[in-house]
Amino acid sequence: MPLRQVIELAQNMIGKGDFAGASPFLDELEVRFEDEKDPAVEKILQQFGFVRGVGYLQSFAKTGDKEFIVKAASAFGFFAEKFPNDPKAVMAMQKRTDCLRSLQEWKEAAKVIEVLLDPQQPYRKQILKRSELLNLYYGKAQCYHIEQDWVKGEPAFRDLLKFADSAKDEDRAAYAVSCLTEMFVQNKRIDEVFPLLPRLSGDTPARYDLRLNVNLMQGAQQLKDESRHVEASLFYSLTMTTEEIVTYYTERQKRLEVELNRLEQFVKLRGQAMPQRRLEILKDKMNGLAMKLTSAKGHLKLAQDTPSFTTTLRWRKSDNFQTTKRDWESFWGFYWLYNDFPEHEMVENFLYAAFASANTVKFREKSIELGELYLKNQKWKKFRADVTFIMCNAYRLQADTLRKEAASLQTAM
Protein backbone atom coordinates (compact mmCIF):
# COMPACT_ATOMS: atom_id res chain seq x y z
CA MET A 1 0.00 0.00 0.00
CA PRO A 2 1.45 3.43 -0.93
CA LEU A 3 2.75 5.52 1.98
CA ARG A 4 0.33 8.37 1.31
CA GLN A 5 -2.64 6.02 1.43
CA VAL A 6 -1.46 4.50 4.75
CA ILE A 7 -1.14 8.02 6.24
CA GLU A 8 -4.56 9.09 4.94
CA LEU A 9 -6.27 5.99 6.32
CA ALA A 10 -4.61 6.48 9.72
CA GLN A 11 -5.61 10.15 9.80
CA ASN A 12 -9.20 9.37 8.82
CA MET A 13 -9.53 6.76 11.54
CA ILE A 14 -8.08 9.09 14.18
CA GLY A 15 -10.32 11.92 13.00
CA LYS A 16 -13.34 9.69 13.66
CA GLY A 17 -12.04 8.79 17.12
CA ASP A 18 -11.40 5.18 16.03
CA PHE A 19 -7.95 4.82 17.59
CA ALA A 20 -8.26 1.04 17.61
CA GLY A 21 -8.81 1.02 13.84
CA ALA A 22 -5.90 3.40 13.29
CA SER A 23 -3.37 1.39 15.32
CA PRO A 24 -2.50 -1.20 12.62
CA PHE A 25 -1.81 1.58 10.09
CA LEU A 26 0.42 3.37 12.61
CA ASP A 27 2.24 0.04 13.13
CA GLU A 28 2.91 0.00 9.40
CA LEU A 29 4.27 3.55 9.61
CA GLU A 30 6.63 2.51 12.42
CA VAL A 31 8.03 -0.27 10.23
CA ARG A 32 8.57 2.13 7.36
CA PHE A 33 10.15 4.70 9.68
CA GLU A 34 12.62 2.11 10.90
CA ASP A 35 13.48 1.12 7.31
CA GLU A 36 13.38 4.47 5.54
CA LYS A 37 13.95 7.17 8.19
CA ASP A 38 11.43 9.29 6.29
CA PRO A 39 10.90 12.70 8.06
CA ALA A 40 7.25 12.76 6.90
CA VAL A 41 6.59 9.42 8.53
CA GLU A 42 8.45 10.50 11.69
CA LYS A 43 6.22 13.57 11.94
CA ILE A 44 3.07 11.43 11.66
CA LEU A 45 4.38 8.99 14.26
CA GLN A 46 5.10 11.79 16.71
CA GLN A 47 1.71 13.37 16.06
CA PHE A 48 -0.29 10.16 16.41
CA GLY A 49 2.08 7.67 18.07
CA PHE A 50 0.52 8.05 21.50
CA VAL A 51 -2.99 7.27 20.26
CA ARG A 52 -1.66 4.08 18.70
CA GLY A 53 -1.14 2.67 22.19
CA VAL A 54 -4.51 4.01 23.33
CA GLY A 55 -6.10 2.28 20.34
CA TYR A 56 -4.70 -1.07 21.40
CA LEU A 57 -6.01 -0.52 24.92
CA GLN A 58 -9.44 0.15 23.43
CA SER A 59 -9.18 -3.08 21.46
CA PHE A 60 -8.30 -4.92 24.66
CA ALA A 61 -11.30 -3.35 26.44
CA LYS A 62 -13.56 -4.68 23.67
CA THR A 63 -12.10 -8.16 23.27
CA GLY A 64 -10.23 -9.01 26.47
CA ASP A 65 -7.35 -10.32 24.32
CA LYS A 66 -4.09 -9.69 26.21
CA GLU A 67 -2.14 -9.59 22.97
CA PHE A 68 -3.48 -6.06 22.55
CA ILE A 69 -1.90 -5.08 25.91
CA VAL A 70 1.44 -6.42 24.63
CA LYS A 71 1.09 -4.24 21.53
CA ALA A 72 0.03 -1.24 23.61
CA ALA A 73 3.06 -1.58 25.90
CA SER A 74 5.32 -1.76 22.86
CA ALA A 75 3.66 1.26 21.23
CA PHE A 76 3.94 3.44 24.35
CA GLY A 77 7.56 2.36 24.84
CA PHE A 78 8.45 3.18 21.22
CA PHE A 79 6.82 6.60 21.45
CA ALA A 80 8.51 7.56 24.75
CA GLU A 81 11.92 6.38 23.53
CA LYS A 82 11.79 8.03 20.10
CA PHE A 83 10.19 11.30 21.21
CA PRO A 84 11.32 11.91 24.83
CA ASN A 85 10.72 15.66 24.55
CA ASP A 86 7.14 15.31 23.38
CA PRO A 87 4.59 16.58 25.97
CA LYS A 88 2.89 13.17 25.89
CA ALA A 89 6.08 11.18 26.54
CA VAL A 90 5.46 11.13 30.30
CA MET A 91 1.88 9.94 29.83
CA ALA A 92 3.14 7.26 27.43
CA MET A 93 5.54 5.97 30.09
CA GLN A 94 2.74 5.94 32.66
CA LYS A 95 0.50 3.97 30.31
CA ARG A 96 3.37 1.60 29.62
CA THR A 97 3.72 0.82 33.33
CA ASP A 98 -0.01 0.03 33.50
CA CYS A 99 0.36 -2.37 30.60
CA LEU A 100 3.46 -4.06 32.01
CA ARG A 101 1.75 -4.57 35.37
CA SER A 102 -1.29 -6.04 33.66
CA LEU A 103 1.07 -8.43 31.85
CA GLN A 104 2.74 -9.25 35.21
CA GLU A 105 6.12 -7.99 34.01
CA TRP A 106 6.78 -6.58 37.44
CA LYS A 107 10.54 -5.96 37.27
CA GLU A 108 10.33 -4.01 34.03
CA ALA A 109 7.35 -2.01 35.27
CA ALA A 110 9.21 -1.11 38.48
CA LYS A 111 12.19 0.18 36.46
CA VAL A 112 9.97 2.51 34.42
CA ILE A 113 8.15 3.78 37.54
CA GLU A 114 11.44 4.43 39.35
CA VAL A 115 12.52 6.65 36.42
CA LEU A 116 9.20 8.51 36.45
CA LEU A 117 9.38 9.20 40.21
CA ASP A 118 13.10 10.04 40.29
CA PRO A 119 13.39 13.78 41.18
CA GLN A 120 16.69 13.89 39.28
CA GLN A 121 14.89 12.96 36.05
CA PRO A 122 12.85 15.49 34.02
CA TYR A 123 9.61 13.48 34.27
CA ARG A 124 8.64 13.87 37.95
CA LYS A 125 8.04 17.63 37.71
CA GLN A 126 5.70 17.09 34.75
CA ILE A 127 3.37 14.82 36.72
CA LEU A 128 1.05 17.32 38.40
CA LYS A 129 -2.13 15.33 39.00
CA ARG A 130 -2.36 13.71 42.42
CA SER A 131 -4.25 10.73 40.94
CA GLU A 132 -1.41 10.03 38.51
CA LEU A 133 1.21 10.20 41.25
CA LEU A 134 -0.85 7.94 43.48
CA ASN A 135 -1.18 5.41 40.66
CA LEU A 136 2.62 5.39 40.25
CA TYR A 137 3.28 4.94 43.98
CA TYR A 138 0.71 2.14 43.99
CA GLY A 139 2.29 0.52 40.93
CA LYS A 140 5.79 0.61 42.45
CA ALA A 141 4.54 -0.94 45.69
CA GLN A 142 2.64 -3.60 43.77
CA CYS A 143 5.70 -4.58 41.72
CA TYR A 144 7.96 -5.05 44.73
CA HIS A 145 5.17 -6.77 46.68
CA ILE A 146 4.57 -9.36 43.96
CA GLU A 147 8.31 -9.93 43.55
CA GLN A 148 8.73 -10.05 47.37
CA ASP A 149 11.65 -7.65 47.08
CA TRP A 150 11.42 -6.41 50.67
CA VAL A 151 14.57 -4.27 50.55
CA LYS A 152 13.17 -2.03 47.81
CA GLY A 153 9.62 -2.76 48.84
CA GLU A 154 9.63 -1.34 52.38
CA PRO A 155 10.28 2.29 51.35
CA ALA A 156 7.84 1.85 48.46
CA PHE A 157 5.09 0.58 50.80
CA ARG A 158 5.70 3.42 53.27
CA ASP A 159 5.68 6.02 50.49
CA LEU A 160 2.37 4.67 49.20
CA LEU A 161 0.83 4.69 52.68
CA LYS A 162 1.94 8.27 53.30
CA PHE A 163 0.71 9.52 49.91
CA ALA A 164 -2.56 7.56 50.09
CA ASP A 165 -3.27 8.99 53.54
CA SER A 166 -2.69 12.53 52.29
CA ALA A 167 -4.99 11.81 49.32
CA LYS A 168 -7.58 10.20 51.64
CA ASP A 169 -7.61 7.09 49.45
CA GLU A 170 -8.59 4.27 51.81
CA ASP A 171 -8.25 1.50 49.19
CA ARG A 172 -4.64 2.34 48.34
CA ALA A 173 -3.78 2.89 52.00
CA ALA A 174 -5.23 -0.54 52.82
CA TYR A 175 -3.07 -2.07 50.08
CA ALA A 176 0.06 -0.44 51.53
CA VAL A 177 -0.87 -1.84 54.95
CA SER A 178 -1.38 -5.33 53.51
CA CYS A 179 2.08 -5.17 51.88
CA LEU A 180 3.73 -4.03 55.12
CA THR A 181 1.89 -6.74 57.06
CA GLU A 182 3.11 -9.48 54.76
CA MET A 183 6.68 -8.14 54.86
CA PHE A 184 6.71 -8.00 58.68
CA VAL A 185 5.34 -11.54 58.98
CA GLN A 186 7.76 -12.96 56.44
CA ASN A 187 10.71 -11.26 58.14
CA LYS A 188 9.63 -12.25 61.69
CA ARG A 189 8.98 -8.61 62.65
CA ILE A 190 5.57 -9.49 64.01
CA ASP A 191 5.35 -6.72 66.65
CA GLU A 192 5.46 -4.08 63.91
CA VAL A 193 2.15 -5.38 62.53
CA PHE A 194 0.01 -4.37 65.53
CA PRO A 195 -0.18 -0.61 64.82
CA LEU A 196 -1.46 -1.47 61.33
CA LEU A 197 -4.24 -3.88 62.33
CA PRO A 198 -7.02 -1.26 62.79
CA ARG A 199 -6.56 -0.32 59.14
CA LEU A 200 -7.41 -3.87 58.03
CA SER A 201 -11.02 -3.67 59.15
CA GLY A 202 -12.27 -1.91 55.99
CA ASP A 203 -14.03 -3.66 53.12
CA THR A 204 -11.46 -3.04 50.35
CA PRO A 205 -10.00 -5.24 47.59
CA ALA A 206 -6.68 -5.31 49.46
CA ARG A 207 -8.45 -6.75 52.51
CA TYR A 208 -9.43 -9.80 50.45
CA ASP A 209 -5.96 -10.41 49.03
CA LEU A 210 -5.20 -14.13 49.39
CA ARG A 211 -1.57 -13.59 50.32
CA LEU A 212 -2.46 -11.10 53.05
CA ASN A 213 -4.85 -13.54 54.70
CA VAL A 214 -2.43 -16.45 54.50
CA ASN A 215 0.17 -14.23 56.15
CA LEU A 216 -2.24 -13.18 58.90
CA MET A 217 -2.73 -16.85 59.69
CA GLN A 218 1.03 -17.42 59.64
CA GLY A 219 1.50 -14.41 61.93
CA ALA A 220 -1.04 -15.85 64.35
CA GLN A 221 0.91 -19.11 64.41
CA GLN A 222 4.15 -17.23 65.14
CA LEU A 223 2.47 -15.55 68.11
CA LYS A 224 1.01 -18.84 69.29
CA ASP A 225 4.44 -20.47 69.14
CA GLU A 226 5.65 -17.68 71.44
CA SER A 227 2.68 -18.41 73.80
CA ARG A 228 1.13 -15.04 72.94
CA HIS A 229 -2.30 -16.61 72.52
CA VAL A 230 -4.48 -13.53 73.14
CA GLU A 231 -2.65 -11.60 70.40
CA ALA A 232 -2.86 -14.64 68.13
CA SER A 233 -6.66 -14.57 68.52
CA LEU A 234 -6.69 -11.06 67.05
CA PHE A 235 -4.81 -12.23 63.96
CA TYR A 236 -7.07 -15.25 63.55
CA SER A 237 -10.18 -13.08 63.81
CA LEU A 238 -8.96 -10.90 60.92
CA THR A 239 -8.13 -13.81 58.61
CA MET A 240 -10.54 -14.37 55.71
CA THR A 241 -11.21 -17.88 54.40
CA THR A 242 -10.70 -18.86 50.76
CA GLU A 243 -14.48 -19.13 50.37
CA GLU A 244 -14.95 -15.53 51.58
CA ILE A 245 -12.27 -14.36 49.14
CA VAL A 246 -13.87 -16.26 46.24
CA THR A 247 -17.28 -14.77 47.09
CA TYR A 248 -15.87 -11.23 47.23
CA TYR A 249 -14.04 -11.40 43.89
CA THR A 250 -16.93 -13.19 42.18
CA GLU A 251 -19.18 -10.26 43.13
CA ARG A 252 -16.50 -7.71 42.23
CA GLN A 253 -16.06 -9.29 38.80
CA LYS A 254 -19.81 -9.14 38.20
CA ARG A 255 -19.98 -5.47 39.24
CA LEU A 256 -17.08 -4.49 36.99
CA GLU A 257 -18.52 -6.40 34.03
CA VAL A 258 -21.88 -4.65 34.45
CA GLU A 259 -20.26 -1.23 34.74
CA LEU A 260 -17.99 -1.82 31.74
CA ASN A 261 -20.87 -3.12 29.63
CA ARG A 262 -23.00 -0.11 30.62
CA LEU A 263 -20.29 2.32 29.53
CA GLU A 264 -19.68 0.44 26.27
CA GLN A 265 -23.38 0.58 25.40
CA PHE A 266 -23.58 4.27 26.30
CA VAL A 267 -20.60 5.14 24.09
CA LYS A 268 -21.99 3.01 21.28
CA LEU A 269 -25.34 4.83 21.36
CA ARG A 270 -24.21 8.38 22.15
CA GLY A 271 -20.53 8.45 21.23
CA GLN A 272 -20.85 10.10 17.83
CA ALA A 273 -22.76 13.09 19.24
CA MET A 274 -20.36 13.66 22.16
CA PRO A 275 -17.60 16.26 22.36
CA GLN A 276 -14.29 14.61 21.54
CA ARG A 277 -12.77 15.31 24.96
CA ARG A 278 -15.67 13.71 26.83
CA LEU A 279 -15.51 10.68 24.56
CA GLU A 280 -11.79 10.29 25.28
CA ILE A 281 -12.44 10.50 29.05
CA LEU A 282 -15.11 7.79 28.83
CA LYS A 283 -12.85 5.55 26.77
CA ASP A 284 -10.04 6.02 29.32
CA LYS A 285 -12.48 5.02 32.05
CA MET A 286 -13.44 1.92 30.03
CA ASN A 287 -9.76 1.03 29.68
CA GLY A 288 -9.31 1.40 33.45
CA LEU A 289 -12.34 -0.80 34.16
CA ALA A 290 -11.01 -3.44 31.77
CA MET A 291 -7.70 -3.45 33.69
CA LYS A 292 -9.52 -3.77 37.03
CA LEU A 293 -11.63 -6.58 35.61
CA THR A 294 -8.51 -8.44 34.51
CA SER A 295 -7.04 -8.00 38.02
CA ALA A 296 -10.26 -9.25 39.68
CA LYS A 297 -10.31 -12.32 37.43
CA GLY A 298 -6.69 -13.03 38.37
CA HIS A 299 -7.44 -12.79 42.10
CA LEU A 300 -10.52 -14.97 41.68
CA LYS A 301 -8.65 -17.67 39.76
CA LEU A 302 -5.84 -17.68 42.34
CA ALA A 303 -8.33 -18.13 45.19
CA GLN A 304 -10.24 -20.84 43.32
CA ASP A 305 -7.04 -22.73 42.50
CA THR A 306 -5.74 -22.53 46.09
CA PRO A 307 -6.64 -25.46 48.34
CA SER A 308 -9.08 -24.31 51.01
CA PHE A 309 -7.51 -23.56 54.39
CA THR A 310 -10.88 -22.94 56.07
CA THR A 311 -10.84 -26.04 58.28
CA THR A 312 -7.23 -25.35 59.33
CA LEU A 313 -8.12 -21.76 60.24
CA ARG A 314 -11.25 -22.73 62.19
CA TRP A 315 -9.41 -25.52 64.04
CA ARG A 316 -6.59 -23.19 65.05
CA LYS A 317 -9.04 -20.49 66.20
CA SER A 318 -10.98 -22.98 68.35
CA ASP A 319 -7.79 -24.50 69.73
CA ASN A 320 -6.51 -21.04 70.59
CA PHE A 321 -9.80 -20.22 72.36
CA GLN A 322 -9.31 -23.36 74.41
CA THR A 323 -5.79 -22.31 75.38
CA THR A 324 -6.99 -18.88 76.49
CA LYS A 325 -9.83 -20.45 78.56
CA ARG A 326 -12.55 -19.07 76.28
CA ASP A 327 -14.20 -22.45 76.68
CA TRP A 328 -17.66 -21.76 75.26
CA GLU A 329 -16.22 -20.17 72.10
CA SER A 330 -13.90 -23.15 71.82
CA PHE A 331 -16.80 -25.60 72.15
CA TRP A 332 -18.99 -23.93 69.52
CA GLY A 333 -16.00 -23.59 67.20
CA PHE A 334 -15.27 -27.33 67.31
CA TYR A 335 -18.99 -28.22 67.28
CA TRP A 336 -19.73 -26.33 64.06
CA LEU A 337 -16.47 -27.49 62.51
CA TYR A 338 -17.72 -31.07 62.90
CA ASN A 339 -21.22 -30.23 61.64
CA ASP A 340 -20.01 -28.20 58.65
CA PHE A 341 -17.41 -30.74 57.48
CA PRO A 342 -18.78 -34.23 58.30
CA GLU A 343 -16.81 -35.81 55.41
CA HIS A 344 -13.45 -34.23 56.20
CA GLU A 345 -10.48 -36.53 56.74
CA MET A 346 -10.03 -35.06 60.22
CA VAL A 347 -13.69 -35.40 61.22
CA GLU A 348 -12.86 -37.83 64.06
CA ASN A 349 -10.63 -35.16 65.62
CA PHE A 350 -13.33 -32.49 65.11
CA LEU A 351 -15.95 -34.60 66.89
CA TYR A 352 -13.69 -35.59 69.77
CA ALA A 353 -12.61 -31.95 70.30
CA ALA A 354 -16.27 -30.87 70.40
CA PHE A 355 -17.07 -33.73 72.79
CA ALA A 356 -14.19 -32.86 75.12
CA SER A 357 -15.09 -29.16 75.05
CA ALA A 358 -18.73 -29.95 75.88
CA ASN A 359 -17.47 -31.77 78.98
CA THR A 360 -15.26 -28.83 79.93
CA VAL A 361 -18.23 -26.42 79.91
CA LYS A 362 -20.47 -29.11 81.52
CA PHE A 363 -22.92 -29.12 78.63
CA ARG A 364 -24.20 -32.62 79.51
CA GLU A 365 -26.81 -32.98 76.77
CA LYS A 366 -24.32 -32.16 73.99
CA SER A 367 -21.61 -34.21 75.66
CA ILE A 368 -23.79 -37.34 75.62
CA GLU A 369 -25.08 -36.61 72.11
CA LEU A 370 -21.56 -36.21 70.68
CA GLY A 371 -20.17 -39.17 72.64
CA GLU A 372 -22.89 -41.44 71.29
CA LEU A 373 -22.15 -40.23 67.75
CA TYR A 374 -18.48 -41.09 68.24
CA LEU A 375 -19.09 -44.56 69.68
CA LYS A 376 -21.63 -45.32 66.95
CA ASN A 377 -18.89 -45.17 64.30
CA GLN A 378 -17.01 -48.46 64.65
CA LYS A 379 -14.15 -47.25 62.44
CA TRP A 380 -13.05 -44.62 64.94
CA LYS A 381 -10.51 -46.03 67.41
CA LYS A 382 -8.17 -43.15 68.26
CA PHE A 383 -10.14 -41.73 71.20
CA ARG A 384 -12.56 -44.61 71.86
CA ALA A 385 -11.14 -45.47 75.31
CA ASP A 386 -11.35 -41.85 76.52
CA VAL A 387 -14.84 -41.36 75.10
CA THR A 388 -16.08 -44.60 76.68
CA PHE A 389 -14.69 -43.66 80.11
CA ILE A 390 -16.12 -40.11 79.98
CA MET A 391 -19.47 -41.41 78.72
CA CYS A 392 -19.71 -43.82 81.69
CA ASN A 393 -19.25 -40.91 84.05
CA ALA A 394 -21.74 -38.82 82.09
CA TYR A 395 -24.39 -41.56 82.27
CA ARG A 396 -23.72 -41.98 86.01
CA LEU A 397 -24.09 -38.25 86.64
CA GLN A 398 -27.20 -38.16 84.50
CA ALA A 399 -28.67 -41.08 86.51
CA ASP A 400 -27.79 -39.36 89.80
CA THR A 401 -29.48 -36.18 88.62
CA LEU A 402 -32.63 -38.06 87.60
CA ARG A 403 -32.73 -39.89 90.98
CA LYS A 404 -32.45 -36.60 92.85
CA GLU A 405 -35.21 -35.08 90.75
CA ALA A 406 -37.45 -38.12 91.35
CA ALA A 407 -36.79 -38.00 95.09
CA SER A 408 -37.59 -34.31 95.15
CA LEU A 409 -40.89 -34.87 93.38
CA GLN A 410 -41.86 -37.68 95.80
CA THR A 411 -41.09 -35.47 98.78
CA ALA A 412 -43.18 -32.67 97.29
CA MET A 413 -46.12 -35.04 96.85
Give the containing element (helix H, strand E) for 162: helix 150-166
Query: Distance between CA atoms of 88 and 73, rounded to whole angstroms?
Result: 15
Measured CA to CA, the distance from residue 114 to residue 337 in angstroms comes to 48
pLDDT-derived band of residue 280, with 50, 70 and 90 as boundaries?
Answer: confident
From residue 242, how far is each of 313, 384, 411 by CA, in Å? 10, 33, 59
Q: Is a pLDDT exceeding 60 seen at residue 362? A: yes
Task: Mention every residue, 6+ apart, whose C-beta is less than 8 A from residue 30.
Answer: 45, 49, 78
Section 23-36 average pLDDT: 68
pLDDT at position 159:
94
- Interior/surface letters 172-183, b for 16+ CB within 10 angstroms, e for the rest: bbbbbbbbbbbb
Name the pLDDT band for 402 (thresholds 50, 70, 90): low
Write the burial class of residue 99 (CB in 10 Å: 0-12 exposed, 13-18 middle, 19+ buried): buried
**What is the pLDDT confidence band of residue 32, given thresholds at 50, 70 and 90?**
low
Q: Specify the 3-state DSSP secondary structure of 345.
A: coil
Between 39-63 and 276-305, two packed helices, what is the crossing angle to 10 degrees?
50
For residue 159, the one-letter residue type is D
Per-residue pLDDT tens over the stretch 193-213:
999 888 887 777 878 888 889
Distance CA 245, CA 111 (A): 31
The per-residue pLDDT for range 81-108, each reduced to its tens digit, is: 888 888 888 889 999 998 998 888 999 9
Q: Distance between CA 284 and CA 225 in Å, rounded?
A: 50
pLDDT surpassing 60 at residue 170: yes
